């Protein structure tokens, strides 16, 4: 699947089949996240890949509307590490979440290119999520992305998007 097709056809899915994700596909997905750009090449993003059901159950308890963390085949926590090569804290505050988003989008598009559906999950209890994952102090879970082959019973129609002329403005508003 080419990149544009992956972008316009990808839909978040919260229901997955029981088919396991093989190591080769998962490796490509993780590599795609790793290759996301990073402001000033600080690389403040790390991943925690979770296959273990009990670990996913514990992580799901850290958020709301997170049943898909329990039922996916793999969950990947996108973690921000503090002050990764940063000169000046204010820059770190703004750069880290953007870099996490870039890694998440790469990960989700690479997964979709492999035929694997994804869905983000917010960890509303950040401290509990940090403890579940055994993260060092100061590390924060930016988001968790669930992965699994799509459940055939869950078709996701394309919801209409706003007209392009309302969305994009050129030169001025």
In Å, what is the CA distance from 56 to each residue of 36, 95, 135? 25, 28, 15
Per-residue pLDDT 10s for the chain (173 aa) are 888 888 888 888 889 999 999 999 999 999 999 999 988 888 899 999 999 999 999 999 999 999 999 999 999 999 999 865 454 454 445 568 899 999 999 999 999 999 999 999 999 999 999 999 999 998 999 999 999 999 887 666 777 889 999 999 999 99
The candidate with the shortest Cα–Cα distance to 144, out of 80, 78, 81, 49, is 78
**Distance from C-alpha of 131 to C-alpha of 56, rounded to nearest angstrom:** 13
| Per-state percent for the chain, helix, strand, coil, to nearest 5 | 40, 15, 40
What pTM value is reported for the model? 0.89
The candidate with the shortest Cα–Cα distance to 50, out of 150, 151, 146, 149, is 146
């Amino acid at each position: 699947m080419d990149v544009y097709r992956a972008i316009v056809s990808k839909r978040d899915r919260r229901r997955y089949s029981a088919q396991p994700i093989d190591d080769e596909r998962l490796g490509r997905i993780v590599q795609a996240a790793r290759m996301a750009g990073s402001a000033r090449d600080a690389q403040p993003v790390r991943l925690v890949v979770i296959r273990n059901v009990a670990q996913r159950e514990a992580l799901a308890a850290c958020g709301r509307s997170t049943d898909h963390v329990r039922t996916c085949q793999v969950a990947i926590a996108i973690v921000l590490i503090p002050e990764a090569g940063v000169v000046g804290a204010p820059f770190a505050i703004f750069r880290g979440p953007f870099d996490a988003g870039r890694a998440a989008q790469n990960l989700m598009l690479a997964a979709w290119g492999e035929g694997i559906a994804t869905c983000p999950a917010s960890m509303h209890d950040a401290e509990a999520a940090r403890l579940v994952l055994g993260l060092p102090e100061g590390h924060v879970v930016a988001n968790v992305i669930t992965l699994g082959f799509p459940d055939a019973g869950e078709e996701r129609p394309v919801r209409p998007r706003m007209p392009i002329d309302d969305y994009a403005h050129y030169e001025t508003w």
